[in-house]
A = this chain, B = another copy of it.
Amino acid sequence: MTERRLGIIMNGVTGRMGTNQHLVRSILAIRSQGGVALKDGTRVMPDPILVGRNREKVQRLAQAHGIERWTTDLEAALHSTADEVYFDAASTNLRKENLEKAIAAGKHVYCEKPTAASLEDAIALWRLARRAGVKHGVVQDKLFLPGLLKMKRLVESGFFGRILSVRGEFGYWVFEGDWQSAQRPSWNYKKAEGGGIILDMLCHWRYVLDNLFGEVKAVSCLGATHIPKRWDEQGRAYEADADDAAYATFELEGGIIAQINSSWATRVRRDDLVTFHVDGTLGSAVAGLTRCWTQARVNTPKPVWNPDLRQPIDFFAQWQEVPDNDPFENGFKAQWELFIRHVCEDGPFPWNLEAGAKGVQLAEAGLRSWKERRWVEIPALEG
């Protein structure tokens, strides 16, 4: 059994999501399972080098997980021939620059979203990677949520008949930071640092809608900054000038309408932190992060509007849970394995920098729609 080493420069995995999802549950988990098996039987063993600007933080992270290689010198790492892949989960504002350097150094690149701060930049990156002939990919983790994998099953099984509409509710209350500390970093709420829920979430909604229901064709979006004053990690008050809520409606191919609210200033009374409610002629479904419930046409109650009676129907009782049937892998790991196969044996990987640019395109269109108070069409990208 042949084993092949794959050097991976991991930049910016000292944050919560980077450490937990990309490092521990993906790369380290792949190592401890003996690597990724290719079709020819070769096992690819990822060998990470951690990169970070804060020497102490990156060193501590490396030691905590028994990782030998770490550095604060990104340039040097990129110019070493020991590593073939560059992964970027560092600051959004530096992503484009970092990815350009990595591509210039001939690395295959994989990164978090958004891939750039503007559509123009995102397309430029895509073109650059294509011309350089390197492999490229963008994290689209929500596609691998068990709840959305079940939703995809439902779509593929024909359960819905013709799909009519999608309702999404994302969000929860992010504490202001004064009387209780905030559970998300402060940069999310500052325009100048790349914050804003539209830029963050519309990138996600693009690939979720495109992959599950149909290509997004147009968007109408209204943003808001519901909480204009927050307190940061050091307890200092700051002006939160980025949008913290977005009320968006999308037209998808096939006449499907998707209406999705995203908010960090809402209290949750629903099945999960994000829910997608899909109605079709033959049935409906609601998916959260991990669970999914269906109501088939034949189980649909026939309510009548009667203001005199307290509602006699429990509208949660006619829904049936979709069983797991198979265990679900961690989604970040599953996508990492696909990217490793993409690099090592040219396996399929549709979520590349074009897909990344599409996410940015939708976010940008959402922002324009908000500003111009009108629907904005979403044309196909010219690569």
Contacts and interface: CB of A to CB of B under 8 A. Distances in A.
A317 to B, nearest CB: 9
A187 interface: no
A268 interface: yes
A50 B286 CA distance: 47
Given A296-B283, A300-B323, A320-B318, A308 B266 contact: no
A257 B247 contact: yes
Give the copy number: 4
A247 B245 contact: no
Interface of A: 1, 21, 25, 41, 56, 141, 144-145, 153-154, 156-159, 164-165, 167, 169, 172-173, 175, 178-181, 183, 220, 222, 224, 226-227, 245, 247, 249, 251, 255, 257, 259, 261, 263, 265-273, 277, 279, 281-286, 288-291, 293-305, 307-311, 315-316, 318-323, 325-326, 330-332, 373-375
Given A172-B303, A224-B255, A318-B320, 7 more contacts: A156-B179, A165-B265, A175-B300, A271-B311, A272-B315, A273-B311, A298-B322
16 contacts: A158-B282, A164-B227, A165-B245, A173-B302, A180-B326, A227-B281, A249-B249, A267-B284, A268-B315, A272-B315, A296-B320, A299-B320, A299-B323, A302-B326, A308-B330, A373-B375
